Amino acid sequence: MIILGSNSEISQAFIEKALEANEKYSTIYLFTSNKETTEKFAKHLDVKFLQQTEVIELDLRSEIDYTKFDYISSDLLFCATGYLGEGTEEGLYDQKNTELIIDINYAKLVPVLTFFAKKMERQRAGTMIVLSSVAGERGRQSNFIYGSAKAGLTAYLSGLRNYMFERKVHVLTIKPGFMDTKMTEGLPLNPKLTATPKQAAEAIYKAYKSGKNVAYILPIWRIIMLIIKNIPEFIFKKLKL
């Protein structure tokens, strides 16, 4: 299994969920921007599951040397990279913040995903599970840079799924709503709409096993987004969302 974004609590919970369900992986390739933290998690997997892992540095903010990853292939990829950035007014007018959000969530990520997709295409088997976001379904004033990058990612995944269908590679798009993770700590999220990494892992694993194309984590988010998407633009533009 290949993991992009190995320090994400959702990635980690998903790996543990899969191993607890007795899935077998010869090696789990843990791609990370912070090797030291991921090494700890690798040790944890060794103690808990005697699982073999390899920790590989991948920083989406810098030039990527793909030849270094050429030896890696797997029929399962899980991607939970993401960067929320600052959705505030200062954040909007901070070029660096905007660039970083677009790079990590979309621009620099897509080539990496395509690289591994191509490998799966060659072996004519594989599943790619990629976390996008409900924020990508309609741009809202509070986080539309992030939202637009995730919208791009969602569109990419939809196209990739279509392209790969005949090539026997499956793509699963996950649209988490509010998550109780490090990324959102300190934000006043409604607990009824917020899922824990464990809940997310359960939902994602279930969607993966049942061959779903697009999945939300808490079912309520399907309804919320249906409403948000259907508000006429002349009303929507006046809302404080």
Partner 1 sequence: MKPNFIQKVTNWGNFPVVEKEIKSEDSLQKIINFVDNSNEIIARGNGRCYGDASLSEHIFSTKRLNKFISFDRLNGVLECESGVLLSEILQVIVPQGYFLFVTPGTKFITVGGAIASDVHGKNHHAEGCFSEYLISFSLLNENGDVLQCSQTENVEKFWSTIGGMGLTGIILSAKFKLKNIETAYIRQESIKAENLDEIFKLFDESENWTYNVAWIDCLQTGNNIGRSILMRGEHAFRHQLPKNLQDNPLRLKKKLNPTVPFYFPNFLLNNLTVKIFNLLYFNKQRNKEVKSYIDYETFFYPLDAINDWNKIYGKSGFIQYQMVIPKEKGKEGMRKILETIAKSGNGSFLAVLKLFGENNPNAYNSFPVEGYTLALDFKVNAKLKNLVEKLDKIVEEYGGRIYLSKDSMSKSSLTNYLQNVQNPKFVSMQHKRIINNN
State how far the Cα of 200 lies from the Cα of 124, in Å rounded to an integer.
28
Catalytic residue among 83, 146, 156, 208: 146
What x/- string results for residues 187 through 226 when contact with partner 1 is judged by CB under 8 A?
xx--------------------------------------
For partner 1, the closer CB: 43 or 118:
43
Question: Does 61 help bind partner 1 (rule: CB under 8 A)?
Answer: no
Pick the stretch among 21-29, 36-44, 140-148, 166-174 that binds partner 1 (CB under 8 A).
36-44
Provide, rounded to whole angstroms, the least separation between the CB of residue 194 and partner 1: 12
For partner 1, the closer CB: 72 or 183:
183
CA distances from 6 to 79, 90, 137 (A): 8, 30, 25
Q: What does the DSSP assignment read for the chain?
A: -EEESTT-HHHHHHHHHHHHTT---S-EEEEES-HHHHHHHHHHHHHHH---EEEEE--TTS---GGGGTT---SEEEE--------SHHHHT-HHHHHHHHIIIIITHHHHHHHHHHHHHHHT-EEEEEE--GGGSS--TTSHHHHHHHHHHHHHHHHHHHHHGGGTEEEEEEE--EE-SGGGTTS---GGGEE-HHHHHHHHHHHHHTT-SEEESSTHHHHHHHHHHHS-HHHHTT---
Q: Is 25 a catalytic residue?
A: no
Question: Does 23 help bind partner 1 (rule: CB under 8 A)?
Answer: no
Here the tokens at position 20 are 């607890």
Q: Residue from 21, 22, 90, 186 that binds partner 1 (CB under 8 A)?
A: 186
Pick the stretch among 35-43, 53-61, 73-81, 93-101 that binds partner 1 (CB under 8 A).
35-43
Pick the stretch among 42-50, 53-61, 205-213, 221-229 that binds partner 1 (CB under 8 A).
42-50
Provide, rounded to whole angstroms, the least separation between the CB of residue 9 and partner 1: 8
Provide, rounded to whole angstroms, the least separation between the CB of residue 84 and partner 1: 10
Question: Does 233 help bind partner 1 (rule: CB under 8 A)?
Answer: no
State how far the Cα of 234 lies from the Cα of 211, in Å rounded to an integer.
38
For partner 1 (CB under 8 A), the number of binding residues is: 13
For partner 1, the closer CB: 187 or 220:
187
By CB under 8 A, name the binding residues for partner 1.
9, 37, 40-41, 43-44, 47-48, 182, 185-188
Residues carrying an active site annotation: 146
